[in-house]
Amino acid sequence: MFSKKPHFELHFKQEQYVLYEEQNGKYYRLQWKEIATCGAIKRIHYNTKTWKHYLIIDIDNDNLYKFKENNLPQPNFILKNKDKIGGHLFYVLDKGIYHKNTFYVNKWQILQDSFTKICGGDTQNKGYVGKFINSNHFEYIELNPYAYDIDFLFSKLNYMPQNNQIYTPKKQNLYKTTPLTIKAPKKVFKTLDLIQVGERNNYLFEKIRKYAYIQVLTNTSIVFKKQVLEYGTSLNNSLLVSLNKSELEATIRSICKYCLKNKESIEKYNHKNRGVMNLDYEQELKEKQRLGAIYTSEVKNKKTLFKLKLSILEMKNRDLKINISTLSKWSKIHRHTIRKYREKLPF
């Protein structure tokens, strides 16, 4: 379960890391030995393409201890922001994972994505770059002094409750010959139909916006705002990691304000012709796709029939023998296709 050595002595060797210096919102790679004083450095490259020593969970909210709610092992340490909410959780592995050992590389990737999802972390952070442990910008919080065994952490994935459910990732083929791609770990959560943390704002905005466009035309402003708020709240609560209440309400207020201000434009937009097919705005996407496929097929059939009739006229003007084989060579259309239009052709 734990290593005999403290995690800091086990892996934090200065010569093995690359620092990231932040200047005007940009990051610059600098070797450790080139830095005299490191207090101003904010980021450091902990894991590399060759070796993995850490699980790094990036938390962008004020709930840094959500791992307790889900019975996760406590991190080795936390680097908390001093000036704003959030921070990084660090799980130190007792043995480094070499990139050619695909079995444990895949385990590390599944753990990184699973722990990030359950702790409410930012999925855009892939577990390589984290906050610098000696930086003046962050507070260091020690929780567990000894490093973890990766198999012990992996075994905990079967015992984490989420919304009164047991969180169990799909079984992965850990002996794949190549490391998992970015898309592969998402299969772990496919059965739960989850919205990732980085996608919540866009997902909620699009759903609530389309709902509001319809409701604003049939209700008074007070009833409209109430319905949109109820719909947005229920939609947000259905997510595994819900959006902050203040952020959700700000999004809903913005949508309601726009809809009430542009009610006439929305009404015209809902009733105008949508392209050459004049599709209804409220139709489901699958129905629109089905009608679009039918329309495309009809256009294609008309073009094919026109080309065949034109080819027959050209062949008649040249006194050529007309049958399926000769027509196929002249029009460059397959004989099976010509047989479908045989009854509509003038020969």
Each residue of 176-218: pLDDT tens digit?
Answer: 444 444 444 433 333 334 455 567 788 888 889 888 888 888 8
Q: How confident is the model over 50-74, as pLDDT tens digits?
A: 888 899 999 988 888 888 887 788 9
User: What pLDDT is recorded for position 252?
Assistant: 92
Whether 280 and 269 have beta carbons less than 8 Å apart is answered as no
Please report the DSSP string for 230-291 in residue order. HHHHHHHHTSSSPPPHHHHHHHHHHHHHHHHHTHHHHHHHHHS--TTTT--TTS-HHHHHHH
Q: 345: closest CA among 133, 316, 78, 132?
A: 316
User: What pLDDT is recorded for position 272?
Assistant: 52
Q: What is the mean pLDDT of residues 155-171?
A: 51
Q: What is the C-alpha to C-alpha distance for residues 237 and 328, in angstroms, rounded to an integer?
A: 61
48 falls in which pLDDT band (50, 70, 90)?
confident
Q: How confident is the model over 82-95, as pLDDT tens digits?
A: 888 889 999 999 88
Q: What is the mean pLDDT of residues 313-339?
A: 89
User: What pLDDT is recorded for position 29?
Assistant: 59
**pTM, to two decimals:** 0.45
Instruction: Tell which wins on pLDDT, 8 or 65.
Output: 65
